[in-house]
Amino acid sequence: MAKSRFEYVKLFEHHETALPNTWMVVRLDGRGFHRFSALHEFEKPNDARALELMNEAARECMLAFPDIVLAYGESDEMSFVLDRRSNLFKRRKSKVMSTIVSLFSSTYVMRWSRFMRDKEGRPIELQACPHFDARVVCYPTLQNLKDYLSWRQADCHINNLYNTAFWLLVLKKGLTEQEAESRLRGTFSADKNEIMFSECGVNYNNEPAMFRKGSVILWADMEEEVTGQRTMPDGTTKTVTSTRRRRQPVVTAQDMIGPAFWEEHADVFAVET
Amino acid sequence: MAKSRFEYVKLFEHHETALPNTWMVVRLDGRGFHRFSALHEFEKPNDARALELMNEAARECMLAFPDIVLAYGESDEMSFVLDRRSNLFKRRKSKVMSTIVSLFSSTYVMRWSRFMRDKEGRPIELQACPHFDARVVCYPTLQNLKDYLSWRQADCHINNLYNTAFWLLVLKKGLTEQEAESRLRGTFSADKNEIMFSECGVNYNNEPAMFRKGSVILWADMEEEVTGQRTMPDGTTKTVTSTRRRRQPVVTAQDMIGPAFWEEHADVFAVET
Amino acid sequence: MAKSRFEYVKLFEHHETALPNTWMVVRLDGRGFHRFSALHEFEKPNDARALELMNEAARECMLAFPDIVLAYGESDEMSFVLDRRSNLFKRRKSKVMSTIVSLFSSTYVMRWSRFMRDKEGRPIELQACPHFDARVVCYPTLQNLKDYLSWRQADCHINNLYNTAFWLLVLKKGLTEQEAESRLRGTFSADKNEIMFSECGVNYNNEPAMFRKGSVILWADMEEEVTGQRTMPDGTTKTVTSTRRRRQPVVTAQDMIGPAFWEEHADVFAVET
Amino acid sequence: MAKSRFEYVKLFEHHETALPNTWMVVRLDGRGFHRFSALHEFEKPNDARALELMNEAARECMLAFPDIVLAYGESDEMSFVLDRRSNLFKRRKSKVMSTIVSLFSSTYVMRWSRFMRDKEGRPIELQACPHFDARVVCYPTLQNLKDYLSWRQADCHINNLYNTAFWLLVLKKGLTEQEAESRLRGTFSADKNEIMFSECGVNYNNEPAMFRKGSVILWADMEEEVTGQRTMPDGTTKTVTSTRRRRQPVVTAQDMIGPAFWEEHADVFAVET
């Protein structure tokens, strides 16, 4: 069996690498999630369970690849930011991107039943294969990276403002979907806030921050309570609870468009050169 | 909220496309499957259930993307061949690759419990997130594509011959893993066949074809039995079974190194230009 | 002097390679040649001297890089086709392209005065730096390559038909450039042929083939007369003329759109795989 | 003539663009210049005329493409740095690179006889086509760019120190080339300085800066004397000389490894973002 005769085909492989010293961003985007969310009756305009499932899958990716310094999720998309010094997979774009999207997808399914439960706590059956496309983009400066994250967070804001107003009109005021669409056509942010407040009695700013800001996932030292059995000098065992600190990806809902976030987390992004 | 101020960051995206009129091959490769298979006690040297799960995930990808004309799987890797005329996602490499690896991964988890059951039929718990990396390679001519698939199938043969002999020596003859390794060091194919036959009483050619050849998945018209209720003219209902033909991805274990396979399936690959 | 401290910057280099087993085509295109040709009073609609200078520069490139199997020139552009088996510069696109365009450009200037002479044979002074941009494109099949060359030759035909009619109307019939443009607007090929024939007394088919078809440069065995001094047995010298055969790039004006050209030169392009 | 039937081949073109907001560097490197310089009897170890010709060709490129903020030349290589905000040719790498190397090459030939003259001032005949390869590399930060230029200048220093010592030993002390090579093998910079000083009576630091540092070409406002004829009120003409300021590329030999250069020219490189 002449194996070597065929091996020349490896020469056709081409591994594009990300430019060194740039911020690699891997963005995942759900495919067909309009249909997928309808099929599983996601709550409108936001399904907290589904968002938390997205966040859990993102946290799993961060734990597997500590070079990810931040993840940002909104709706059915998730962005991962890799440290600009990262040499993960020698910065081969395909490998970085495919491994992350694969792990994210399998985790999404694996943790589905933990998050997706009905009001009685019964698991909702997964009836279709959720999947995501991925892309990798490089940003050369911190300002470019800030603008990228601001772009996504502004997108989250605009979509969520619209969707919240839309579904309030439909679910609370009883408008048809067409009527709600007409009502909102051409309105500005202030108009939508006013419609929600005066017509639906809802102050948009009181909506959950995760809906309004998306999910910002960062590493933090967390205290964990660890409970274990300890054998005492006299041979007896005793249940002991201690706390330990561990770095973990933690979900928050901070604003990344203003400067405060970047000042607070300057150490994460402050890379000389 | 000035959205537009940030939108310039889209210009940093770069979508590489696969050269038109070439065979795009997406190859997935399990990450850390040595550990993953040990954790779930896969059978040695081959676990038919795990291979069938791989095949099922591949079939799901073919059903979602009919431009895939052939998939070939061995061990924890799977190659997808797209028709050279395919314009899937405008041939954007990242999108083609990421979508396939994502769907494959989520299907692998979703179908896990259907395939991975112990001898009593009880589902084996999934204890880690299986994931895969992906790459896309273009082959300009049919001969290059044949050589690619022959390369993978030769790889399957060589690995499986070794592994089968190795595990027979360990499991049947009681050698330690080190002893088995020493016994096989420097041996040729004929030697391994002889060791299996004379020392372990096993004729390698009688091993299952899926183990020896890998899995070749092709589209075929399959007859399905469809059973339904039909309402009769008199208002009664009757259970009716009929057959219908449908194109489906079908798993086989054919040899792709010799010419017969290519003659038999010439229509699939016979593209002018 | 710490040299090594800086060497990391080499890691930022990225050398894209052309897909193996494809036809690499390097196309050069004159930059600002409208102005350049006006400045040097090129003859309208075609300047045979300038075209021959282009061909000479192309021949020089072929002599330097024998992997070029064909060059095709029209107006201020030149295409070079590399053998699909070529491994020139390991198929690094930048290197292949930049070296060819550089050699072409320097030869164009170096040979300028040999070709660009006025009617009295006096050299025309070069008053601006001629330069070209370049691109490299890969074609996977011979049919794609044929279509590429047909595309350029059809472009040559269409442009030359228009330009010949235009300048006949201006130079021979005394129309202004605007009038000539109006006269030709919306006309088909047959109309232009008719205008030239009936209004200007010119049969387009009798125009020089190099103008109508462009220049196809191929390798051919050419006989050369070589004259040298030979020392005779008696010590005297004698002038001796002999012929020898040598492979040389030869300019022709063949049609590449029909099948005859490809049948005649099948050996050049007939690559198995 | 069916033109459109062939136009699909344009789809095979792929235009890679440089990542926005990075410093694009185009580096040219003479091909076969060892032989080329021997053929034209370049002076050893440095030929000032040839270096000035290189600089002249670089200046021509800067005048044609004002986005080039700095050029750096040593020996037969030249680096061009484009402003990080440059949108030249939409940052298409092939076009940027090929146009610069083409213009550089044709200028090199066109200006050859102005610079390359023997001691009696007679032009030296150009006997071979000089040509260059080119590559384009992107640097995301100013520090990376500084390190790139320091890398090239350190390379210039190391090569020139060796070459100066080598040719002094050969030309002044009468060693053979092999002897000179042996004499210098394993020596450090200090050793070479000492050899030159004590054995050849040459203080390396008194060598021309262009040889030791290479050529740094920057834009500067230069005063030009312009002489013209002016028509006076009484109808007579008078020769008038005036000065005007014009931005021009100016050749210097500054050190770019230390911080002083970057402080002095901070305005050129100080780009926010």
Interval A98-124: pLDDT, tens:
999 999 999 999 999 999 999 999 999
Nearest residue in chain A measured CA to CA from C10: A20
Average pLDDT, rounded, for chain A: 94
Report yes or no: B134 and B80 within 8 Å, Cβ to Cβ.
no
- From the CA of B268, how many Å to the nearest CA of chain C? 18
pLDDT in tens, D107-163: 999 999 999 999 999 999 999 999 999 999 999 999 999 999 999 999 999 999 999
pLDDT value of position A3: 56
Give residue-wise pLDDT tens across range B149-191.
999 999 999 999 999 999 999 999 999 999 999 999 999 999 9
Determine the residue among B9, B80, B212 to mutate to test chain A binding: the one whose Cβ has the most chain A Cβ atoms within 10 Å. Answer: B9
Measured in angstroms, the CA of D187 and the nearest CA of chain C are apart by 14
Nearest to D80 by CA among D255, D249, D246, D261: D249
Q: Is the pLDDT of residue C184 over 60?
A: yes
Which is higher by pLDDT, D238 or B211?
B211
Residue D105 pLDDT > 50: yes
Grade residue A230 by pLDDT with cuts at 50, 70 and 90.
confident
Q: List phi, psi (to 5°) of D136.
A: -125, 135
At residue C249 the predicted structure's pLDDT band, cuts being 50, 70 and 90, is: very high
Q: Which segments of chain B are extended strands (E)?
A: 23-30, 68-74, 77-82, 132-139, 215-231, 237-252
Model confidence at C209, pLDDT cuts 50, 70, 90, reads very high
Model confidence band, residue C236 (pLDDT cutoffs 50, 70, 90): confident
pTM for the full predicted model: 0.93
Q: Which residues of D touch B19 (CB under 8 A)?
A: 12, 14
Percent of chain A beyond pLDDT 90? 88
In chain D, the residue whose alpha carbon lies closest to the alpha carbon of C154 is D3
Mean pLDDT of A243-249: 92
Residue B233 reports pLDDT greater than 80:
yes
pLDDT tens for A151-169 read: 999 999 999 999 999 999 9
pLDDT at B232: 86
The reply to whether residue C16 touches residue A20, judged by beta carbons under 8 angstroms, is no
Taking CB atoms and an 8 Å limit, are A141 and D140 in contact across chains? Answer: yes
Task: Label residue C1 by pLDDT band (50, 70, 90).
Answer: very low
Instruction: Name the residue of chain A whose CA is nearest to B150's CA.
Output: A6
In chain C, which residue's Cα lies nearest the Cα of A8? C20
Compute the nearest-CA separation of D109 from chain A (Å): 36
Residue range B86-94: average pLDDT?
97
Q: What is the rounded distance in angstroms from the CA atom of residue B102 to the CA atom of residue A107?
A: 11
Give which of D111, D134, D129, D78 is closest to C133, Cα–Cα: D134
Residue B1 pLDDT > 60, yes or no? no
pLDDT at B273: 53
Q: Where are the domains of chain A?
A: 13-154
Q: Tell me how close the Cα of A12 comes to any Cα of chain B, in angstroms.
A: 6
Residues of chain C contacting residue D150, judged by C-beta atoms under 8 Å apart? 6
Which of D101, D144, D154 has the CB atom closest to C102's CB atom?
A: D101
The structure tokens listed for B257 are 């190194």
Closest in D12, D31, D130 to C139, CB measured: D12
Residues of chain A with C-beta less than 8 angstroms from the C-beta of B32 = none
**Which among A216-225, B99-108, C234-243 has the top mean pLDDT?**
B99-108
Contact partners, residue D187, CB within 8 Å, separation at least 6: D195
pLDDT of residue D270: 81
Phi, psi of B181 (to 5 degrees): -60, -45
Give the pLDDT score at B224: 83
pLDDT score for A240: 87
Say which of B12, B16, B20 has its CB closest to residue D11: B20
pLDDT at A1 over 50: no
Q: Cβ distance C71 to C249 under 8 Å?
A: yes
What rounded mean pLDDT belongs to chain D? 94
Q: Is the pLDDT of residue A231 over 90?
A: no
Residue D189, token pair as written in the block: 């910079």
> Which of D98, D145, D162, D257 is the best mutation test for C, with the most CBs of C within 10 A?
D98
Task: Show residues of chain C in contact with A138, CB under 8 Å.
Answer: none
For the domain made up of C13-154, give the CATH fold.
Alpha-Beta Plaits (3.30.70)
Res D224: pLDDT: 83
- pLDDT value for B271: 66
Confidence of residue C71 (pLDDT cuts 50, 70, 90): very high
For position A44, what pLDDT does the model report? 93
* Mean per-residue pLDDT over chain B, rounded: 94
Contact (CB<8Å) B19/D12: yes
Among A1-10, B60-69, C138-147, D244-253, name the one with the lowest average pLDDT. A1-10
Element (DSSP H or E) covering residue B200? helix B200-200
Whether residue B25 contacts residue B80, with contact meaning beta carbons closer than 8 Å, is answered with yes
pLDDT of res. B190: 95
Distance CA D109, CA D76 (A): 14
Whether residue B234 has pLDDT greater than 90: no
Distance of CA D151 to the CA centre of its chain: 15
> Which residue of A11, A16, A19 is in closest CB contact with C12?
A19
Best-predicted range by mean pLDDT (A224-228, B118-122, B236-240, D1-5): B118-122
Nearest to C50 by CA among C124, C101, C141, C122: C124
**Closest to D151 (Cβ–Cβ): which among C7, C108, C257?**
C7
What is the model's pLDDT at position B228? 85
Chain C positions touching A11 (Cβ under 8 A) are 20
Buried-exposed string A187-215: b where 16+ CB fall within 10 A, e elsewhere: eeeeebbebbeeebebebeebeebbbbbb
For the cut 70, the answer to whether the pLDDT of residue B80 exceeds it is yes
Mean pLDDT of D70-89: 97
The span from the CA of B250 to the CA of C244, in Å, is 64
d(CA B25, CA D230): 74
